[in-house]
Amino acid sequence: MANYDLRIKPSAVKELEDLQAKDRRRIVSKIQNLAEEPRPRGCEKLSGRDRFRLRQGDFRILFEVDDGAETVTVVKIGHRRDVYRQS
pLDDT tens-digit map of 31-47: 999 999 999 998 999 88
**Region 52-72 average pLDDT:** 92
Q: Are 63 and 8 in contact (CB under 8 A)?
A: no
- What pLDDT band is residue 86 in, cutting at 50, 70 and 90? low
How far CA 71 is from CA of 34, 55, 56, in Å, comes to: 10, 20, 21
**Region 49-69 average pLDDT:** 91
Residue 10: is its pLDDT beyond 80?
A: yes
Task: Please name the helix (run of DSSP H) or strand (run of DSSP E) that holds residue 9, with its range, or none.
Answer: none
Model pTM?
A: 0.88
Q: Are 78 and 54 in contact (CB under 8 A)?
A: no
Superfamily of domain 5-79: RelE-like (3.30.2310.20)
